[in-house]
Amino acid sequence: MQRVNIKKAVIIAVRALLSAAVLSVCFYVLYRYEYLSQIGSIDNITGVMPVAFALMAAGGAVTLIWLKYTKKSAPLAICMAALVIFTAALFPTALRGNWWLAKPDKTSGSDGDISAYAPFTEGSLTAKLGEESELKLGGDLPVLDGALALYPVYSAVAEAVYEKSAYNGETQFTNTVKAFNALIAGEREVIFTAAPSQSQRDAAAQAGVELKLTPVGKEAFVFVVGKNNPVESITYQQIRNVYSGKTANWRTLGWKDGGKIIAFQRPDGSGSQTGLQGIMKGLPIQAPQPLPSAELIGTNSLMRQISVEWKGVQPALGYTYRFFGNTMYPNPNAKFLKIGGVEPSVENIKSGAYPFTVNFYAVTRGEPTGNTKKLIDWILSPQGQRLIEKTGYAPL
């Protein structure tokens, strides 16, 4: 009799331990993805799905642990096992909110015309040094390329340093993604971009190319909304909540009549998407819902999309780099959001008070040599840094 009781007690203890382990895993996963600490910021059913799936997987597993297995309970056991498998398998999908059959549109419209910043052209908007450059390069000039927002920088550098007679279109513009590919393929000597994404680092490593990143200036990663949006400031955590899908309504961010947040994203590998990934720090970024109208997607640059009106409100939220938004493609109907009350001004970037201050880099294949090294050394010199500042960016 006592032996039976001991056996029963052991079985109960084992079941209790297993249940505790299952629940611990469930709550750790929810904690890891910030669902426990940000439960109060969830304002939509898509955002609640990961919590529901985790709880169902754990609940199903605990039921299986405690279930009395008889012929009668077989259907329940099979259903519970199916529930555990189904919810656990779909948990990553729930985390990304990627329930859409249509491929989400992450385009930001056309890249726009940057010919106004071309070097050595009449009336070019390229920043001028205003003095004789301490470095002049002729002969075999390094071919430059990079991010759209940094074209004015390397265009100004080329105009200041390259001999006009030797210049033969060495400032290329493709975009961040193509520039990295061209650098890895050996078609460019220097590219100017934000820090590379993990996939770009992987592509370089696979090709046996060591990427050498030399910081040459500072820039702010900014979040942009329509001018009529009453929200002036957003916190770091609120951004993480929006782009991880927990918060989907402007109401939660303080704008009662704003409706749903249309949170634009950029293509993977672009400088600004890499910037967002840096802010999310491993938190899965929500797959954007396919939008119903070209009006909402926009046909031009990201800065235009931001101010699109929809049913009397400007519901969009986007991100870019400050210079792109306020100098290259200024939109009078858009505004930058403060982050935790700090605005992305040059002073705040220089002092580091603005939280999303990032370096931008001259990226080369390994250690730079020859004219490429001379060029980068010059950019890092006081004269080169003055030109960076004149362009509109913050110097190091």
Partner 1 sequence: MKDGENQENQNKKSALPAIALELDIFAVVCFFLGWGCFYSGVLIAIGVGLFLATAILPFGAVITGICALCRGKKRIGTGGIVCSVIAIALPVVVVLVTVLVFSTGIAVIRWM
Binding site for partner 1 (CB under 8 A): 39-40, 42-45, 48-49, 51-53, 55-56, 74-76, 79-80, 83, 87, 99-102, 249, 251-252, 256, 259-260, 289-293, 296, 310-311, 315
Q: Return the number of the residue (265 or 357) whose C-beta is nearest partner 1.
A: 265
Distance of closest approach, residue 186 Cβ to partner 1, in angstroms:
42
Residue 310 pairs in a beta bridge with 313
* Residue 307 · residue 286 · CB < 8 Å: no
Task: Indicate the residue among 287 and 379 with the shorter CB distance to partner 1.
Answer: 287
What CA–CA distance (Å, rounded) separates 225 from 339? 13
Which one, 54 or 224, has the nearer CB to partner 1? 54
Shortest reach from residue 214's CB to partner 1, in Å? 44
DSSP sequence for 340-382: TTB---HHHHHHT-STTEEEEEEEEESS--HHHHHHHHHHHSH
Contact 220, 182 (CB under 8 A): no
Distance of CA 159 to CAs 111, 176, 187, 216, 218, Å? 23, 21, 21, 17, 21
- Nearer to partner 1 among residue 55 and residue 65 (C-beta): 55
How far is 365 from 204, CA to CA, in rounded Å?
Answer: 9
CA distances from 385 to 142, 157, 376, 378, 381 (A): 19, 10, 11, 9, 6
Minimum CB separation of residue 68 from partner 1 in Å reads 15
DSSP 171: B
Instruction: Spell out the residues 6+ positions from residue 144 whose beta carbon is closer than 8 angstroms to its own.
Output: 154, 157, 158, 170, 171, 172, 188, 189, 190, 191, 192
For partner 1, give the closer residue by CB, 31 or 347.
31
CB of 318 to partner 1, least distance (A): 17
For residues 316 and 293, the answer to whether their CB atoms sit within 8 Å is no
User: Which residues are bridge partners to 222 per DSSP?
Assistant: 320
In sign, the C-alpha dihedral spanning 18, 20, 23, 27 is negative
Q: How far is the CB of 52 from partner 1 (least distance, A)?
A: 4
Judged by beta carbon, residue 35 or residue 117, the one nearer partner 1 is 35
Rounded CA-CA distance 380/396 in Å is: 8
CB of 256 to partner 1, least distance (A): 7
Burial class of residue 320 in the structure, from the number of CB atoms within 10 Å of its CB (0-12 exposed, 13-18 middle, 19+ buried)? buried
Question: Whose Cβ is closer to partner 1: residue 281's or residue 311's?
Answer: 311
| CB closer to partner 1 out of 43 and 145 | 43
Contact call for residues 192 and 150 (beta carbons, < 8 A): yes
Least distance in angstroms from the C-beta of 261 to partner 1: 10
Q: Which sign, positive or negative, has the C-alpha torsion 27, 32, 35, 41?
A: positive
Closest contact distance (angstroms) between CB of 19 and partner 1 is: 18
Going by the DSSP 8-state scheme, the letter that residue 189 receives in this structure is S
Q: How far is the CB of 98 from partner 1 (least distance, A)?
A: 11
Tell me whether residue 28 or residue 100 sits nearer to partner 1 (CB atom): 100
Between 10 and 74, whose beta carbon lies closer to partner 1?
Answer: 74
The minimum distance between CB 61 and partner 1, in angstroms, equals 14
